[in-house]
Chain A
Amino acid sequence: MLDFELTVNGERHAVRAEPRKLLCDVLREDCRLTGTHVGCEHGVCGACTVLIDGRPARACLTYAVQMQGHEITTIEAVAKDGKPSALQQALHEAHGLQCGFCTPGIVMTFEAYLKENPRPSEEAVREVLSGNLCRCTGYQNIVAAILRVAQAASDGKA
């Protein structure tokens, strides 16, 4: 067991865990942040995607012990003061989720992606979304929601 500190959503958490404990498990079990979902546990499904220093990463391919000195952002930090982000609002309005299992990973992936590429093409959105498996929606409404945010960004600039 190792004792270390993690910074998650700007808050420090004292953690005691084995080095082999995955970041997604520490977030859920030690930090009590259960918004990060655990699907395949080998990097394929994207459900556990969080941000490490602002960049998207699979929390199941990261050991929590590696994250000392880094900033972790999880789905719990996306809504501000109870107000959903533009992306979350768009997913709600466009019916971009059903069971919601994959949604936190999709939101974290695209919070990062849209910051880097505010006005992506549909093709680019679909390429990025290929890293997050959704078994309910058929992806159509997720793509529509993301393009709605991109469109709003374009309108804002115009």
Chain B
Amino acid sequence: MKPAPFRYHRPQSLGEALALLSGHPDARVIAGGQSLGPMMNMRLAQPAELVDLNDLKNLSFVNEHENALEIGALTRHHAVATSPLVRKHCPLLAEAAQTIGHYAIRSRGTLGGSLAHADPAAQLPLVAATLGAEIAVAGKRGERRIAAKDFFVSLMSTALEPDEILVSARFPKAAPGERHAYLQFSRRQGDFAIVAVACTLLHQKLKIGIGGVEDKPVVLLDLEPSDPAALGRAAREAVDPTENPRVPALYRKELVEVLVKRCVAKCLTSS
């Protein structure tokens, strides 16, 4: 349970970090290290070069724009969950961030790290996909912005190129009167969700995001806010869970039905 050897780099600017990545094809960036760290300790990841982004303090911020909050990649989950701006304008994001791992994990793990890691059961990819966030990545050719639906490609695989770094994400602000709810189920507090459900309701249109079920978050759009039980059954039919010896696909379908029903009911009655 010790990582394989690597060379350590500690860039002092984004430009320096990008130059390191383009010069070393075997490099990985590390920020909070709460996903990459365990993978390296278990030697599931063995990067030859490790590029530590923790000195890039200007990547840690929450900025308010007219229609969106822009959050820097190095912003820790705890800062996202407790930020007054996030709580006010993106309450679904704050609520979901509060459920990530544990207190010490949230104090260290970063928004950019979770999005780039793209675990299909993780909270932030689910919220980004559900809210239609836009993800900004920097590379030597400049910056580009990618819609969440195009960013998450498959299991732990994104549109990020090996020589690019995720720098920020823009989450649309909740509109006046918009409601939301978030629910997840895991065997133990702090584990990755077996199924997670996020939903929003605006102008009598429901959006339901489902995580943990397929290789990336599933988002169902423009649903009529009808009977929660009927929506649960519809969601169950809409997902195609990955078969897993410890979590049968049928079990995940059952969970999707129950959690969507409860999440919609919670959303309809929230204020």
Contacts and interface: CB of A to CB of B under 8 A. Distances in A.
B34 A20 contact: no
Contacts of B34: 43, 58, 61
A63 B8 contact: yes
Contacts of B42: 42
Contacts of A113: 103
B102 A20 contact: no
Contacts of A14: none
Interface residues of B, number: 30
A130 B102 contact: yes
Given A46-B102, A66-B54, A131-B102, A18 B38 contact: no
Given A43-B38, A61-B33, A62-B37, A19 B103 contact: no
B104 A58 contact: yes
B84 interface: no
Contacts of A66: 8, 10, 52, 54
B15 interface: no
Contacts of A78: none
Q: Is the interface of A mostly helix, strand, loop or mixed?
A: mixed
A55 interface: yes
The number of chain A residues touching the other chain, given as a range, is: 20 to 34
Interface string B21-50: 000000000000110011011100000001
Given A128-B103, A130-B102, A43 B8 contact: no
Contact of B189 (A62, A112, A130): A130
B103 to A, nearest CB: 5
Contacts of B6: 19-20
Contacts of A127: 103, 189
Q: Which of B6, B7, B107 has the most CB of A within 10 A?
A: B107
Nearest to A68: B10
Nearest to A38: B1
A57 B6 CA distance: 22
Contact of B104 (A2, A56, A65): A56
Contacts of B2: 20, 22, 25, 41
A131 B77 CA distance: 15
Given A42-B41, A55-B107, A58-B105, A20 B188 contact: no
A20 B4 contact: yes
B248 interface: no
B107 A57 contact: yes
B3 A43 contact: no
A41 B108 contact: no
A145 interface: no
Interface in A27-61: 40-43, 46, 49, 52, 55-58, 60-61
A103 interface: no
A131 B102 CA distance: 5
12 contacts: A2-B8, A42-B41, A43-B38, A55-B107, A57-B107, A62-B37, A63-B3, A65-B8, A66-B10, A130-B102, A130-B189, A131-B104
Closest 7 CB pairs of A and B: A131-B102, A61-B37, A19-B8, A41-B1, A130-B189, A42-B38, A56-B104
Given A57-B108, A60-B41, A130-B102, 17 more contacts: A18-B5, A19-B5, A22-B2, A22-B3, A42-B37, A42-B42, A46-B104, A55-B78, A57-B104, A60-B37, A61-B33, A62-B33, A63-B50, A113-B103, A130-B189, A130-B190, A131-B190
